[in-house]
Structure 1
């Protein structure tokens, strides 16, 4: 172990040492000390921490803590690569040491360190306690520590978050001898990478390999691809892949996946990496050899690359399908914790791939999600109409995505930022002012995105009709939700606009887009929370729902589930709002029964599954509501 350098510290450290001496001598530390550091010293004095402790006090350590079991593989990989007097420490949420390697100056003892109490109440200010308290990376250098024991030690700590936990479950600390310039801790990157590896292991233990394979399959399916996921013992085949691939080809893919898992288990994958004739696909395609990695023996310092990565795909291998009439398959190995746990194959129509690339800019619009035929036809028709600067009317039920499509179409035109007017907000004068400005400038002005055209005031309708009579080609995209009664002037305006109109399908007619929409609405999880995934049962319930509020209602359901849930793992049917948990009717219902069942579901949804309030809003007793729920098979939801 490298000895401590006794070279005098820089001016900043010297001033901190003097301030600490003044504080410990009973005087104010001075103006140069940050207030949060001065408060930490005061807390240590309040807790009665002796400054001259030779080692942290010991408490009863936890028995077989899960955090240690998850962290040990990463810690065992990183610890041998540390040098220069550096050490690695793991503490739990109560700041009890669970594991310690190197940096004996920090521990103050060479005996068993399990159970050393590093809490602020026991040893005063230190980086592990600070990281657990603030929930973010913390560094404490030399004289910032309260104990004399750590005056020549610099430490950086990174908190560890368990899946779905809102607060740290522990922290990883890297200690090093104090440097003359402690502005950047030399082990900060090591601590961050180690913490990432430990959190990945925690997530993996919460989600076994079968769950990871299913998640990978669902992610690929969300993009509308034809997907096959295999692990050698089972396979998941999307309906699109089942239509394109024969039983013989699926058997070939299964054999290949079995070989990948078997070779990884027996260690042959690395031995075969350098042999050019190996690693071939079902039709002789060759995959790239895995990258070589240095083991602890050849490493001199730890880097983020030296630490295990989360589940990931390797570089795919691509090969033709003999019975696929121009099809190719791209197979990627799915690895977790350095082990191959299966493979995911996507089917690519090679003959259509070039044409699809040519149509990419034509059909693909920013901010839109969906690959179903009704949605693609609507978007394609709107795209064609939007290429000319003439009025365009988008028609559809509330919440189908009319405004999102309108914004994307205006972006496609490459025009200036549109003026957005919502007729439902009844802002007087907005539409006439735009019409007047456009009529005055022959060169044109910004386009108008007019929402809820059915709610236009009489003055707005008159201004638009006058403008369209003088200039039929105006940059206007309007949205219209049918159903509201319209007067003669508004009917005339809608008749003029409907000459160039597109009807958008409701969500119940494009349920195959629900997986992709779920992925889009889920977005990035908040720090410390796993990504939101959906069980097959929950997805089936979502696909069976009639969605009166369409895509907007689905987005609201996703937000509600994400905010309310505390469990880990995929979202289950039981976690969905009541109206979505209810299965379809088990018998054929009359028109009156269907209407009544729909009214009950809507009342329950509106009142957050509160049956008493739902019954009151329906004008019936609670006992009557329960009886009707049983009659319609809705009582088990």
Structure 2
């Protein structure tokens, strides 16, 4: 067996796939007929279809997620054979779903691959022989998709490779021409929007950023990364509107519009929400966030407070902002060492003016009842917990006594505050150091899923600051796993919700893929493919 085929078989086996796995019921998703790849490839596919007339060969085009977006054939028997293995538009043919094949394998190894009949991992594909070649965007050098030609037989035709490579070159050339047209459309939209000089306008393309003078005066460098991340969620038709606070402290209303077809670019218009001029001078410290202001208000209320959020989201820090640094702290995780009796005694004997009880979701029902009585006797208590939706019934009864509640958002949902949080952490890690996170590095960081939340971000910045002690932190200074803006930077609102649901299911099931798939109502292979598409750790 050739080395590249043997490696592919190992990857398929590790993903849980078996040679007898069926392919007749793959999940079929919607495809975008106006995508940049499909628009560029359609004339080339038309020409290939003419050349294949009278043969049993077929051509398939897959996108960067290895989902088939188009196929061409001229024989009805070929159509039936493709339908039997679900090789239809909308089906995903990654290696963890279909094993070794000429769509998923070229995407893995990032070069052209020939797969002869018996070299397919899944039995249902062994009747085919094929050649697949990745398609790269000539501007960004990212892989946009894979083009495949398939025939029935034990050996792939040696002419497959040169024929398909020429077709891929034609598609890449059309992508290049399309990119130039996209930049022209983006420039025209930008010029039209900037006729009103009082409006701040920024236009984002793949490799182009346009900004008028009003936007230059209003925005800080870190704002560009935040705006690009928000703009990527704009719908294909219609507009996205929301309010946010810029790095300078200026409150603005944002309006984002797609320019042309979905990949062409995004136009962002910013309108100040007040006429009060925001000072642009150097500040003495990080600006207080809305969340910190809310916690400061609770400090004066004197009532029990529940602070809920994912691990690493800053629950302990938030609790101390409410009650101060001198509070007694009792952690439910210490039950393993102390035992229930000693833990309860420490709860009763706390003498400080305030008490923080950490991770109450770990408490048994008996201690939850005891904690509830303690709350009734001593109101200056702050509880921290997992998200409220994940709390057991017994814990919810104790948490219900808290009239004031704060839900800490996960870091992946704090785009507006990300730059400020990163700067504040960097200042704590390297006080007095002249360090600045460049917009491109900030964009790469914002695009990450951050399952460890603020704790994970602090660890990344600590490692980065050890290697870069002064000057600008660029993308190359970040740990290798955090350098790619990746899929997360281009997720739609629906895709982000899907990614969060998968991450939550994995967290609840302790990383068990089978149970997580059951909880989500999808197959395990679909779960693996979605995890890979969203860049979630496997």
Short-chain TM bin: 0.3 to 0.5
Q: TM-score normalised to the size of structure 1?
A: 0.33
